[in-house]
Amino acid sequence: MTAPLTLPATTVPDPAEAPGLRWGVIAPGGIARNFIGTMHAATASRLVAVCSRSLERAQVFAGDFESDAGCAHAYANIDEFLAHEGLEAVYVASPHAQHFALAKKVLEAGIPVVIEKPMTLNADQARELFALGREKGAYVQEAMWSCFMPHYDVIRQVIESGVIGEVTAVIADHCQYFPFDPEHRLYAPELGGGALLDLGVYPLAFAHWAAGSPKQVHATGTLTATGVDEMVSISGLSGRTVYAVQTGLGARSSVEAHVLGTRGKIDVDSWFFMPNSFTVTQFEAGDNGEDVTERFTYEDSLPYALPEHPDGGNYGMAFEIAEAARNIRAGKLESQRWGERDTLAVLEVMDRVREIVGVRYPGEEN
């Protein structure tokens, strides 16, 4: 008879209890709306300044997110925005190709920064930003939101506990179908387009989370008419763990992640990188043994309640916001959950994959 499985509790604290910081946002587009909406609904942090290329767009955004801290100040000039009194953290939410230059400005002003994923187009740019953060004593965090969530934390604890034995394989996919549109940022090389940086970053981050950074990377891929990656298959080897990652703009996939071990497996529900649930199965060897399974359910397994989202969406970004707020208040320069080593490891894989499939962005010619 096999003993029942007990899953560990999450070590991710309640986001509502993190310190409240005064935030600014640069590039108030689609994802910035989620981020600030989540911040106001699920954390004590508040928006105090908005910077857009258009003053009118900044004003509209500020008005839409008026809070108990008042209406955020709108700017169309980044230097004036960065001089806003009392700004404690800045969130950069532009398309990827602008992350580096915008975050560099923020760090040069000595202000902590959280940068949307992927943090930069390539590993060299990210390395430069982390170094600048250290020089200026300013916190730097990639907004790889999944890696701050409780289910990822518990998955890592399960792996480290040895419950599924030695991890020998990780499989993850993230493909979405986007009809070809050369104007859309996903198809535009000048905006860092392609499946890999936007979608593939999630399964690659998951593989890194579960198995560590790979020593070998292989890839095959197709390109769009605009010269960015369309469908990409990646295989990697990290220690004795193989991983297989699929990403693409030309099909829809299940968006699942699986960790396979010598004694069991972890199957994460679709979409694996959203706040979600997973099943752990432990295999029982021998004739009479039965597999044992246990579920981590996102709704019931947390030691705190999260506010309900009015539109059936989720407040998963609350964890990355709270992580940044706690670390910035504590005077840290990076996150222990997803820090420089992690961001760079994934960007280095993406650099290698782009080299293999033949994607270079403007400015990367040398």
Ligand X SMILES: NC(=O)c1ccc[n+]([C@@H]2O[C@H](COP(=O)([O-])OP(=O)(O)OC[C@H]3O[C@@H](n4cnc5c(N)ncnc54)[C@H](OP(=O)(O)O)[C@@H]3O)[C@@H](O)[C@H]2O)c1
User: Which of the stretches 37-45, 50-58, 258-266, 330-338 binds ligand X when contact is defined by CB under 6 A?
Assistant: 50-58
Calculate the CA 198 to chain-centre distance. Answer: 10
CB-based contacts of 232: which residues, under 8 Å, 6+ apart? 195, 196, 200, 219, 220, 221, 222, 246, 247, 248, 353, 357
Choice from 22, 40, 53, 136 touching ligand X (CB under 6 A): 53
How many CB atoms are closer than 10 A to CB 327? 22
Residue 75 sits in the site that holds ligand X (CB under 6 A): no
Residue 309 sits in the site that holds ligand X (CB under 6 A): no
**How far apart are CB 219 and ligand X at their closest, in Å?**
20
User: Which of the stretches 89-97, 287-295, 331-339, 355-363 binds ligand X when contact is defined by CB under 6 A?
Assistant: 89-97
- Residue nearer to ligand X on the CB measure, 178 or 260: 178
Please list the alpha-helical segments (H only) found in the chain: 30-42, 55-64, 78-82, 99-108, 123-136, 150-161, 195, 201-211, 318-329, 340-357
Choice from 46, 84, 117, 208 touching ligand X (CB under 6 A): 117
Residue 15 sits in the site that holds ligand X (CB under 6 A): no
**How far apart are CB 98 and ligand X at their closest, in Å?**
4
* Whether 21 contacts 89, CB under 8 Å: yes
- Encoded one letter per residue, x for contact with ligand X by CB under 6 A and - for no contact, window 183-222 reads --x------------x------------------------
CA distance 292 to 280: 8
Please list the alpha-helical segments (H only) found in 162-247: 195, 201-211
Residue 57 sits in the site that holds ligand X (CB under 6 A): yes
**How far apart are CB 53 and ligand X at their closest, in Å?**
4
Residue 95 sits in the site that holds ligand X (CB under 6 A): yes
- Residue nearer to ligand X on the CB measure, 265 or 354: 354
- Residue nearer to ligand X on the CB measure, 188 or 211: 188
State which amino acid sits at residue 286: G
The CA–CA distances, whole Å, from 126 to 91, 130, 284, 341 equal 16, 6, 44, 10
- Residue nearer to ligand X on the CB measure, 260 or 325: 325
Residue 29 sits in the site that holds ligand X (CB under 6 A): yes
- Residue nearer to ligand X on the CB measure, 20 or 29: 29
**How far apart are CB 273 and ligand X at their closest, in Å?**
8
Residue 96 sits in the site that holds ligand X (CB under 6 A): yes
Residue 54 sits in the site that holds ligand X (CB under 6 A): yes
15 three-class SS: helix
List, in sequence order, every beta strand (DSSP E) within the chain.
22-26, 46-51, 73-75, 89-92, 113-116, 140-143, 167-175, 216-223, 229-238, 241-248, 257-261, 264-268, 278-282, 292-296
**How far apart are CB 199 and ligand X at their closest, in Å?**
9
Choice from 10, 38, 45, 52 touching ligand X (CB under 6 A): 52
Measured over the CA atoms of residue 353, residue 214, residue 145 and residue 125, the dihedral's sign is negative
Q: How do beta strands 89-92 and 113-116 pair?
A: parallel
Chain positions contacting ligand X, by CB under 6 A: 27-31, 52-54, 57, 93-96, 98, 116-117, 143, 145, 185, 198
